[in-house]
Amino acid sequence: RRVCDLCAEVIYLSVGSAYTGNVACARAWQAAHDRQHRFTVIDSETASGSLGLLVYAAAHKIRAHKALADVREFIEAARHRVVELVFLDRLDFLARGGRLSRTRAFFGDLIGVKPVISPLADGARKVGVAHHRRGQVDMARQTLRSRLTARSEGWLWLEYTDNRDWLEDELLPEFRQSYPSMTVALQPMSLTSGAHMGPGTWAIAFLDV
């Protein structure tokens, strides 16, 4: 209500409805209080770094003085194109949070299995595995090559937890050289994601526009 009092039109870009009840709460408030239809609720269908990147891209459009109708249209299309891969280092933090059995976490860590997670419309899903950091990097490279070219434009984020120096020294220069038309940047990982997944976790998130 306070934001609507300050602004003529408001876009609420919410974390995906598969992750929280924020979308339902916002739409209930909208139905009860937004008689002038100034409050737009958009389910991002994603979370974590891909949601952050989607919000950043929408803000970029607004700063470019795009009409809010155009921004809404951009978000509706971009939410299906934004991609994030999260590379875990250890599984025991997922077990501590109740998202994985301790037995599976123990044996996964024992044999060096490192799941690759992606936040999708129906929730976070495992989209692959790697057995060492080099395997994680190879998967990141292959994914980017399959989706981007040297002429692709948009944003590419490298997300860090306690490993910023490694990403900044090894991958940031490489990806900037490989995708010169993309804005390639370092970003801290979502605090919620980092708490669930633990030290050593890193991610890539990208949006080709």
DSSP-assigned states of every residue in 125-182: EEEEEESSHHHHHHHHHHHHHHH--TT--EEEEEEESS-HHHIIIIIHHHHHHH-TTE
pTM over 0.85: yes
Give the SS3 label for residue 81: coil
Distance separating alpha carbons of residues 90 and 155, to the nearest angstrom: 28
Give the SS3 label for residue 70: helix
List strands edge to edge, sheet with 154-160: 123-130, 114-120, 83-87, 202-208, 154-160, 182-188
Q: What is the pLDDT along the chain (209 residues), one digit of tens a residue?
A: 899 999 999 999 999 999 899 999 999 999 999 999 999 999 999 999 999 999 999 999 999 988 989 999 999 999 999 999 999 987 665 545 444 444 443 334 444 678 888 989 998 888 888 988 999 999 999 999 999 999 999 999 999 999 999 999 999 999 999 999 999 999 999 888 887 788 899 999 999 99
- 180: CB partners within 8 A, 6+ apart: 150
- The pLDDT value recorded for residue 113 is 73
CA distances from 118 to 30, 83, 125, 200, 205 (A): 30, 8, 6, 17, 10
- 150: CB partners within 8 A, 6+ apart: 178, 179, 180, 181
Distance separating alpha carbons of residues 208 and 191, to the nearest angstrom: 25
Residues 198, 191: contact at Cβ < 8 Å?
Answer: no
Residue 79 tokens read as: 């939410």
